[in-house]
């Protein structure tokens, strides 16, 4: 059965929210999903969120950034309170394109049989709505304790990630803003709520290896220099043995070949060059610099004494990082265990997130909805999971003492 959108809340414009309405995560989640905020478009998502936060006493600041050759991106930083400790919630309102295969309108925010469907509901508009609802409940309950709380919300997480969180962090740090702890609302739970808290991420390195030779006729290989065998030898050398055996908080580093390409349509021509691409996900035994040095040494050893040459282009998505288990991860574990009955494992698995930028400014941990359907058709979250996440976030706020009620908040 389909649940129609509540007419008085789901389409509420910016500034038309109340604390009571925001205590329920569903209306805000639906309002955000209905914004077609495919990176780098915003389509009003940040306006909707800002209106909700203003209603809760946050002072909001839009932080648009530009960079030559990239789309302009709008971002939002909102803070309530002035004193420490300062807890920040980080997330993104941009989403990936819907793609095909949907059985429902990806931007209609349809509710059927206790499940909310829509692009970005799990990754991560539902998580944002749950955190705002937790704040609303905390405000309504007169949550005591000194401190501040903020939200750092970008519109550039699913895209190049050049004009979003990284620029916000750089700007806020330059201005002297201090954040003690940051909870990133990524959907890190694999199958059900309460499974996992991310306390770090592996680094990611992308490499393009091009081997150059001399083109020639395949009937006269002695007159050519075939780069393909040398490329295969280099790839064999870099994959011959594991990079490491893992560390205390990280699984072993991995190297995955993603492409081998000659671009040669002819069967009787030895090509002039051959190219391969690979990705390394690495732990705290390595840095991007040390891995690039290792790759060059291996390839140079293969190339030595042979004709031709090779080129290695390396780009970094982020270094590995770890926030040692402590106050923030413990608060999330305690809250999740109290609500779900299961204590989440601390993990560093998976890909990258904007936590790789925030770790330069604050202790960081990640916890959000179930990620099973993210980036897929019919992305969804159960309403019970939305409520569970809201309750977990509320308990984190209560334990952290994030609001300072005696500090007047500027509108």
Residues in Cβ contact with 390 at an 8 Å cutoff, skipping those fewer than 6 apart:
25, 130, 131, 133, 134, 137
Q: Is the peptide bond before 407 cis (omega within 30 degrees of 0)?
A: no
Q: How far is CA 194 from CA 144, 189, 198, 249, in A?
A: 26, 7, 12, 19
Burial 329-352 (b: 16+ CB within 10 A, else e): bebbbbbbeebbeeebebbbebeb
CA angle 140, 146, 152 (to 5 degrees): 75
Asked if 76 and 48 touch (Cβ cutoff 8 Å), the reply is no
Among 184, 178, 183, 181, residue whose Cα is nearest residue 82? 178
Q: CA angle, corner 217, sides to 272 and 232, nearest 5? A: 45
Which residue among the candidates 94, 292, 366, 385 is catalytic per the annotation?
94
- Whether 157 is catalytic is yes
Give catalytic status of residue 94 as yes or no: yes
Neighbours of 237 (CB within 10 A): 15
Annotated catalytic residue within 157, 195, 225, 354: 157
End-to-end CA gap in the chain? 41
- Euclidean distance between CA atoms 41 and 71, whole angstroms: 9
* Binding-site residues for Zn(2+): 92, 123, 158, 186, 375
Q: Hunting for tokens 């043995």 — which residue is that?
A: 241
Q: How many CB atoms lie within 10 A of CB 387?
A: 17
Q: Tell me how far CA of residue 246 lies from CA of 188, 281, 287, 292, 345, in angstroms.
A: 21, 12, 14, 19, 17
Q: Which residues are tagged catalytic?
A: 94, 157
């Amino acid at each position: 059965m389909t649940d129609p959108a509540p007419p008085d809340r789901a389409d509420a414009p910016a500034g038309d929210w109340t604390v009571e309405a925001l205590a329920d995560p569903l209306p805000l989640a639906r309002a955000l999903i209905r914004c077609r905020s495919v990176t780098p478009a915003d389509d009003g998502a940040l306006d909707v969120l800002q209106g909700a936060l203003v209603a809760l006493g946050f002072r909001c600041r839009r932080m648009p950034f530009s960079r030559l050759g990239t789309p302009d991106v709008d971002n939002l930083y909102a803070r309530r309170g002035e004193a420490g400790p300062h807890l920040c919630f980080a997330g993104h309102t941009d989403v990936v394109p819907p793609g095909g295969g949907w059985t429902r309108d990806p931007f209609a925010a349809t509710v059927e049989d206790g499940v909310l469907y829509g692009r970005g509901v799990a990754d991560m508009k539902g998580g944002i709505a749950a955190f705002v609802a937790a704040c609303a409940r905390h405000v309504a309950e007169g949550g005591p304790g000194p401190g501040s709380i903020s939200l750092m919300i970008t519109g550039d997480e699913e895209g190049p990630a050049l004009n979003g969180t990284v620029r916000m962090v750089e700007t806020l740090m330059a201005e002297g803003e201090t954040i003690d702890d940051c909870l990133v609302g990524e959907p890190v739970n694999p199958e059900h709520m309460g499974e996992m808290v991310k306390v770090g991420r592996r680094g990611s390195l992308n490499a393009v290896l091009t081997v150059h030779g001399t083109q020639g006729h395949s009937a006269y290989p002695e007159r050519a220099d075939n780069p393909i065998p040398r490329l295969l030898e280099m790839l064999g050398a870099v994959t011959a043995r594991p990079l490491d055996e893992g560390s205390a908080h990280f699984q072993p580093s991995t190297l995955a070949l993603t492409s081998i390409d000659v671009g040669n349509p002819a069967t009787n021509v030895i090509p002039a060059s051959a190219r391969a691409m690979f990705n390394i996900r690495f732990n705290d035994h390595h840095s991007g610099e040390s891995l690039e040095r290792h790759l060059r040494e291996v390839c140079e050893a293969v190339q030595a004494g042979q004709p031709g040459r090779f080129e290695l282009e390396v780009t970094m998505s982020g270094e590995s990082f770890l926030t040692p288990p402590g106050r923030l991860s413990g608060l999330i574990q305690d809250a999740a265990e109290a609500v779900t009955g299961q204590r989440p494992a601390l993990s560093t698995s998976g890909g990258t997130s904007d936590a790789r930028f925030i770790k330069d400014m604050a202790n960081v941990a990640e916890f959000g909805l179930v990620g099973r359907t993210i980036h897929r058709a019919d992305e969804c979250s159960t309403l019970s999971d939305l409520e569970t996440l809201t309750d977990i976030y509320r308990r984190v706020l209560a334990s952290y003492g994030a609001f300072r009620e005696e500090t007047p908040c500027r509108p």
